[in-house]
Amino acid sequence: MDSTIKNPRHVAVIMDGNGRWATKRGLPRVQGHRAGVLALREIVKHSRKIGLEYLTLYAFSTENWKRPPQEIKNLMNLLVEYLKSEINDLKANNVSIRILGDISPLHAAVITQLNKAVEETAANNGLILCVAINYGGRDEIIRAVKGIVRDINAGKACIEDIDHSFFEGYLDTKGIPHPDLVIRPSGEFRISNFLLWQIAYSELWFSNCYWPDFTARMFEKALEDYAKRDRRYGGVNSVD
């Protein structure tokens, strides 16, 4: 990426269209998810290359439990497979893993692998790779409210403490800047319950290609388009 381009600190990606990619080719849906992992590897590698600080990937939503059990099992197996195969490379390239979402309902083997990935990369201070799994924006907000109520009832906080900064301390993304840019491939034009609090002023970028076809060059195109946008956060600039 050209160093003169206005760079985002944090890019969030809704990795969508794996199943449709496979169906279009007459393949089982799991093959689409496997192809999606290859795209994931390319984008993580490119994010490191360009010096991105935060990359958040929507891997499995709270609504994805509605899918067939075998597909869910395949997705979880692929997640574990990815973490096992990539962990040494992530450590070597100074990438740290952070998990967003409530992972407690997941299979014990998946939880173990997620926690291991977080622990083994905790000392890294390069790209922070946030993986949103069993994540939903509404669910995150409800969990945050419950945490605040518990602390108020325990005398650890009071209602007067609550402001934007205080509330964000109870979110999964505590300490992480809001996404500058949200990318969604697959031809859908919706947010799908993703980072609802955090993306209030994020720039949105959509593409018709399915996630397995999303390349580093497309990622660059999204960043180039982002650089041309005027982020006013509800205000005006000097030429308006």
In a domain, 126, yes or no: yes
In a domain, 132, yes or no: yes
In a domain, 172, yes or no: no
- Structure confidence by residue, pLDDT tens digits, 119-171: 999 999 999 999 999 999 999 999 999 999 999 999 999 999 999 999 999 99
Q: How many domains does the chain have?
A: 1
Sequence-ordered strand ranges (E) for 75-146 = 96-100, 128-135
pLDDT at 165: 97
pTM of the model: 0.93
Q: How confident is the model at residue 238 (pLDDT cuts 50, 70, 90)?
A: low
Query: What's the rounded mean pLDDT across residues 87-113?
Result: 96
Question: Which domain, by its residues, includes 33?
Answer: 10-136+178-225
Which is catalytic among the residues 7, 18, 64, 94? 64
Exposed / middle / buried, residue 173 (Cβ in 10 Å: 0-12, 13-18, 19+): buried
In a domain, 191, yes or no: yes
Which of 108, 106, 166 is closest to 131 using CA atoms?
106
236 has a pLDDT exceeding 70: no
φ/ψ of 135, rounded to 5, equals -115, 140
* 230 included as an active-site residue: no
240 has a pLDDT exceeding 70: no
pLDDT at 62: 97
In a domain, 5, yes or no: no
Q: How confident is the model at residue 237 (pLDDT cuts 50, 70, 90)?
A: low
Residue 42 Cα distances to 7, 167, 175, 196, 239, angstroms: 19, 34, 26, 26, 39
In a domain, 153, yes or no: no
CATH of the domain at 63: 3.40.1180.10
Query: What's the rounded mean pLDDT across residues 39-67?
Result: 97
In a domain, 113, yes or no: yes
Strand, helix or coil at 36?
A: helix
- Structure confidence by residue, pLDDT tens digits, 99-110: 999 999 999 999
* 125 included as an active-site residue: no
In a domain, 147, yes or no: no
